[in-house]
Amino acid sequence: MTYLAVPEMPRRTFWASIRRRNTMAEWHALAEYSPPPMETLCGFVSVLEPHRTWEQTLPDARCPRCERLMEAADRARNVMAAAEAAPPMEPVKAELLRRRVMEGA
């Protein structure tokens, strides 16, 4: 599944903008696009449009909670896919069980 990314722009004071201290934006993951305001995986509400995918963001700039939630969702999706791919067990018929019991006696 492809996740979208929205930035959380750091708050800048007047003096920080004059000194040009530029901190990197933290990126949050979105499961699917919806009109703003959008809620990310970790609960952050963003009014900015997503213009990157999660793979296009720098690993150091990613939200750690979003990253953990994404990994957990992928693991759960893989487990569910494996469970669905396993052949279903057929019910055991009573006659077969009766024959096995009678043969053993």
User: Is residue 26 predicted with pLDDT exceeding 80?
Assistant: yes
27 with 56: CB under 8 angstroms? no
pLDDT confidence of residue 12? 63
pLDDT confidence of residue 20? 62
**In the structure, what pLDDT confidence band is assigned to residue 46 with cuts at 50, 70 and 90?**
confident
- Does the pTM surpass 0.85? The reply is no
Domain boundaries, the chain: 4-104
Share of the chain above pLDDT 70, in %: 71
**In the structure, what pLDDT confidence band is assigned to residue 92 with cuts at 50, 70 and 90?**
low
Burial of 48 (0-12, 13-18, 19+ CB in 10 A): middle
